[in-house]
Amino acid sequence: MIRNFFIIAIVAGLAAIFVTLFWNFGDSTTLTPLATHYADKGAAEVGAPNLVTSIVVTYRGFDTLGEVTILFLVASIVSFFLKREKLQKDIELKRETSEIILTASKLLVPIVMVLGVYVFINGHLTPGGGFQGGAIIATAFVLLLMANPDFKINHRIISIVESVSGISFVLVGVFGILLAGGFLDNKVLPLGTFGKIFSAGAIPLIYSFVGLKVGSELSNILSNFQGIQKEEM
């Protein structure tokens, strides 16, 4: 009782701080100067119709590098954290996977994969991008795992995809310093025609690497959890 009261008091205290933010929030009818710059100059400077993408990949590309790193980091940690004294026994499952999932997975996995690739390749044109595409690809693996709990993801391939796409991302960034304005500059490739798939310089390339990397990292994390799950059952 006292504990609950105390917790509520703490939550209420934090709420009181939020109230100040809330009352001062005000209306907004115009963009910040920063956003206005992106809106007005983004198309010319970066050449991608999707302004969010131009910010994510180019203007704030450095954040994206951090994000990719976080996933990579978590994948690495989870792999050495959960791998210890792994038993790897195949245990009898309590019941068969249902027919619906089995069929659906066969049908859907290729389509989902293609969708993921589509989303990251078109990241500079339409809503979506490397992270979204990568996450979609990873869902295909989730589906596979659910359909077939013994399914073994080939770690070797995954880590090669993961590493190669990561290195390529960094390399494209470095080319930006050498050939264009700075680290992660997309103008290492020509900007091309605005609105076409091969445009916006290196953005589709970078987003493809990001998509592959995110997809493989998420799958990697998943497969590590799968490994330990067997141990627990």
Partner 1 sequence: MEIIALITGFSLILIGLYGILSKRNIIKIIVGFSLFDTGLHVLIVTVGYIKGGTAPILDSVVGTTDVASKIVDPVPQALVLTAIVIGLGVTALMLAYALKMYQAKKSLDISDFKDMKW
Partner 2 sequence: MNLISPIYIVAVSLGIAFFMGLLGNKAQRSSYLILLAALLFNTFVSLQWVFGLGSGLVEAMQVYTAGFKPPFSINLLMGLNESVITALINIVGVLGAIYMMSSLKKNGTGSQVVFLILFMSLNVIVLSRDLFNIFVFLEVGSIALAGLIILQKGTNAISAGFKYMLATGIISGILLIGIIFIYRFTGSLNIDSIITANPILKQGAFVSAFLIIIAIVLELKSFPANGWGLDVYEASHPGIGAILSAASATATYFVLYKIVDIAGSQLNYYISIIGVISFVGSNLLALKQENSKRLLGYSSIGQIGLLMIILGFKDILGENTTYVAFGILVSHYLAKAGLFWLSGIVKQKNIKGWAVIRKKPYFLFLMGTFIFALIGFPPFPSFFAKWTLVMDLVNTGNISWVVAILFGSMMEAVYMIRWFGYAIKGENEDIKDFKIDIYKIIPVGIFAVALYVVGYFVAPHTEVGTAINFIPLYFVAAIFILDFLPVIIKNTLAIVGMILYFYNIYPDLDNMRLIFEAIFMVGGILTLIAGYAYKGKRPGFYPVALLMYAGLTAIIEAQTTLQFFFGWEVMTAGSYFLIIRGKRSMPHGLSYMLFSIGGAYALLTGLGMAHVGHASFSMEILNGISYLPYLAYGLLIVGFLSKTAALGLHIWLPGAHGEAESDVSPMVSAILLKAGVFGIVLTLIGMGASNNQYSELAYALGWLGAITALAGNLMAVFQEDAKRLLAYSSIGQLGYIVLGLAMMTHLGWLGGFSYVINHFLYKAVLFLTIGAVVMRVGTHNMYQMGGLIKRMPLAFIAVMIGIIALSGVPPLSGFAGKWLFYNAILEKGWYFQGAIMFFSGGIAFMYLWRLIHTVFLGQLKDNHRNVKEISIWFLIPIYTLLAGIMVYSMKPQWVLQPLGNMIAKWFPEGQLQWVGETAISQYGQWAGSLVAITIMGSFIIVLVLLMLSTRKAHKVKQFDITYSGERPERPETTHVAYNVFEGLYKAMWPATIPLVEAWWNKITEILHNIADVTRRIYSSNGQVYVAHIVLFIIVSYLVIIGG
With CB under 8 A as the contact rule, the residue among 8, 39, 62, 152 that binds partner 2 is 62
- Give CA–CA dist 152/223, Å, rounded: 8
If binding is defined by CB under 8 A, does position 107 make contact with partner 2?
no
Residue 151 binds to partner 1 (criterion: CB under 8 A): no
Per CB under 8 A, the list member of 87, 110, 127, 179 interacting with partner 1 is 127
- Phi, psi angle pair for 6, to nearest 5°: -60, -45
Stretch that binds partner 2, among 22-30, 94-102, 103-111, 117-125 (CB under 8 A): 22-30
**Does residue 74 bind partner 1 (CB under 8 A)?**
yes
Q: Measure the N-to-C terminal CA separation of the chain; round to a whole number of Å.
A: 37
The binder of 226, among partner 2, partner 1, none, by C-beta within 5 to 8 A per type, is: none
70 binds partner 2 (CB under 8 A): yes
What is the size of the binding site for partner 2 (CB under 8 A)? 58
Q: Is 45 in the site for partner 1 (CB under 8 A)?
A: no
**CA 108 – CA 113 distance, rounded (Å):** 8
d(Cα 228, Cα 87) in Å, to the nearest integer?
8
| Distance of closest approach, residue 193 Cβ to partner 2, in angstroms | 20
Length of the chain: 233
Per CB under 8 A, 81 contacts partner 2: yes
With respect to partner 2, which residue has the nearer C-beta, 41 or 196? Answer: 41
Instruction: State the Cα angle at 52 between 135 and 32, rounded to 5°.
Output: 140
Q: Is 129 in the site for partner 1 (CB under 8 A)?
A: yes
The amino acid sitting at 116 is G
**How many residues interact with partner 1 (rule CB under 8 A)?**
58
Copy the structure tokens of residue 136.
């979609």
Residue 155 carries which DSSP code? Answer: H
The C-alpha atoms of residue 179 and residue 186 are separated, in whole angstroms, by 10
* Residue among 2, 4, 5, 21 that touches partner 2 (CB under 8 A): 21
40 binding partner 2? (CB under 8 A): no
172 binds partner 2 (CB under 8 A): no
Instruction: Quote the tokens at residue 60.
Output: 């704030």
Q: Are 75 and 226 in contact (CB under 8 A)?
A: no
**Residue owning tokens 């400077």:** 45
Work out whether 183 is an interface residue with partner 2 (CB under 8 A).
Answer: yes
The answer to whether 124 and 54 have CB atoms below 8 angstroms apart is yes
* Cβ neighbourhood burial of 146 (10 Å; 0-12, 13-18, 19+): middle
Q: What does the binding site for partner 2 look like in residue numbers (CB under 8 A)?
A: 6-7, 10, 13-14, 16-17, 20-21, 23-25, 32-34, 37-38, 45, 58-63, 65-67, 69-70, 72-74, 76-77, 79-81, 156, 159-160, 162-164, 166-167, 170-171, 173-174, 176-177, 180-186
